[in-house]
Structure 1
Amino acid sequence: MKEFTAQITIGMTSYQLLMTLSPLKSAPSLVDQVCSRLARQLRDEVESGNGRLPPERLMAERLGVSRTVLREATKRLELQGLLEIRHGSGIRAVNRLHKPLSGSLSLLLPELSERLRQLNEARAAIEPEIAKQAALKAKTADVKQLRSIHERLVAAETHDEAVEADIDFHRTLARIASNEILKLMLESLADLGRESRRITISNVGRQRAIDHHTAILSAVAAHDAPAAAKAMKHHMDEAARDLAAKTKAKR
């Protein structure tokens, strides 16, 4: 009986120990550690304009890892849009975090017209908020830069120049808004947005974009957040209508 009681006690003790155990967290792999270390430094390299990284052999030595581990890490960072690897010219730090999403859009939505339609829906959801935040946070230098970009749109002599000035205007608003998530979302749509703008500017000209940007710029300069959001919403609504009309005409 004593032996049986002892077995129960031991069994209960084992059960109590089991209940106090928690899952072990696996240690990051060497590749994960290298990715983490490099990612922290790459943005500084891009911002400083010194995007070129040391040769693979030297980086591996400094990090204390094999070239195989470093190669796997840099390949992963390239897929994430933080590195550009060119055989023969080395590795360069870049800021293309939007590329993974941008590249997925054509796979998810093979038909261009549907991609453009959904693009306008996405922009209508996020760009008025970007304009609102930009109006709240814009400094004098920001407004000056925005006005300079707007003048490029006015003075553009070709469709391509107008398209790039248009994209830069919206990109600068996102930077002024100081929200990295909104900025990344907008940048992920930039390539598709370029196609959309080529269609609408070719169809209706750039004067409409100039008028809309003028209203947005004035609201941002006046720090009038509701007016900036309203002007941007009107801009998005008109762009959607122009694109829909062009698509319908083609059909």
Structure 2
Amino acid sequence: MPATKNAISLVDSVSGRIVDLVRASHLDRLPTERFMSAQFGVSRGVIREATKRLELQGMLEIRQGSGMKVVDKLHKPLSSAVHLRVPDEKTRLVQLTEVRLALEPEQARLAAERATKADLKRLQDCHQRFTLCEDLETQVLADMEFHCLIAEASRNEVSSLLMQSLSDLLQSSLSHGYRRVTKDLAVDDHGKVLAAIVDRNGDAAAKAMRDHLTHARFDLGLQPKPRRTVKA
């Protein structure tokens, strides 16, 4: 039906224009439906459909009486979809680890090649916090931040977004791991990854990350655990 196709095309177009408006003007809230309707020359119904779509994609938060707030939750739809598609927690952890092994070593390699001085400083500060923290919640958050910072330092937006999408799932994975082993093993692994990135050694960074994730698989009890030692 042409009318339906035209309507869908118009909503797509307006959604894109709203995204451009947010990026160009660095908005934290959108103007009213009435204002955007006049600005874009479309009906308020089209504006409403376009903003609903952006809300589902994680870019907007719409609340009655509070307007439309710009948020950075673009990763949320994938996280939610994974929980729905793979409801069994252990199966989800197995599959998450497989995905991480495919993704994160290359992120570490790219980070070694592309990280800025500011990226390296953030990674070093995060590793220091992780080394010093004691309670489980802080350990998990610092560990998760370290992996997300490496993804950011890879300077690949798609890769970074995928890592953010996995962050909610990663939090559950890390919590399970730390209930089984101490964080000392992870601190040692993180130190090796960080040292390779700082040295700009992409191959060593990828290997260190692959080794770390293989250890995580053992720590989660997903396969038999070999003997591991931490350097004194």
TM over 0.5: same fold? yes
Change (3 A) 1:44 1:127: farther
Residue 196 (structure 1) shift: 0.5
Of residues 85-94 and 228-237 in structure 1, the stretch that sits farther from structure 2 once superposed is: 85-94
1:203 and 1:246 in contact (8 A); partners too? no
Q: Can you list the C-alpha shifts for 1:29-79, whole angstroms capped at 9, x where unaligned?
A: 32121111012233456xx5x412222222222222221111110001111
Q: Can you list the C-alpha shifts for 1:203-232, whole angstroms capped at 9, x where unaligned?
A: 212111111111111000000111100100
1:200 aligns with 2:180: no
Partner of 1:117: 94
Partner of 2:64: 87
Residue 244 (structure 1) shift: 2.0
Change (3 A) 1:187 1:43: farther
Q: CA–CA distance in 2 between the matches of 1:31 and 1:169? A: 38
Partner of 1:29: 9
Change (3 A) 1:119 1:223: same
Q: After the TM superposition, which residues 1-251 of structure 1 pair with which residues of structure 2 at under 5 Å, given as runs?
A: 29-43=9-23, 48=26, 50-244=27-221
2:69 is paired with a residue whose SS is strand
2:197 and 2:205 in contact (8 A); partners too? yes
Q: CA–CA distance in 1 between the matches of 2:193 and 2:118? A: 16
Change (3 A) 1:39 1:133: same
TM-score w.r.t. the length of structure 1 is 0.82
Which consecutive residues of structure 2, in runs of 5 or more, have no partner in the other structure?
226-232
Residue 193 (structure 1) shift: 0.4
1:130 and 1:177 in contact (8 A); partners too? yes
Letter in 2 for 1:31: V
Identity of counterpart residues, as a percentage? 44
Q: CA–CA distance in 1 between the matches of 2:139 and 2:212? A: 16
Equivalent residues, number? 220
1:84 is paired with a residue whose SS is strand
Q: CA–CA distance in 2 between the matches of 1:119 and 1:93? A: 29
Letter in 1 for 2:12: D
TM-score w.r.t. the length of structure 2 is 0.88
2:94 and 2:222 in contact (8 A); partners too? no
1:128 and 1:228 in contact (8 A); partners too? yes
Change (3 A) 1:237 1:147: same
Letter in 1 for 2:166: L
Residue 199 (structure 1) shift: 0.9
2:112 and 2:202 in contact (8 A); partners too? yes
1:42 and 1:82 in contact (8 A); partners too? no
Q: CA–CA distance in 1 between the matches of 2:82 and 2:59? A: 19
Of residues 214-223 and 147-156 in structure 1, the stretch that sits farther from structure 2 once superposed is: 147-156
What's the C-alpha RMSD, in Å, of the aligned pairs? 2.0
Q: CA–CA distance in 1 between the matches of 2:20 and 2:114? A: 27
2:61 is paired with a residue whose SS is strand
Mark the structure with the bigger radius of gyration.
1
Partner of 2:229: none
1:43 and 1:95 in contact (8 A); partners too? no
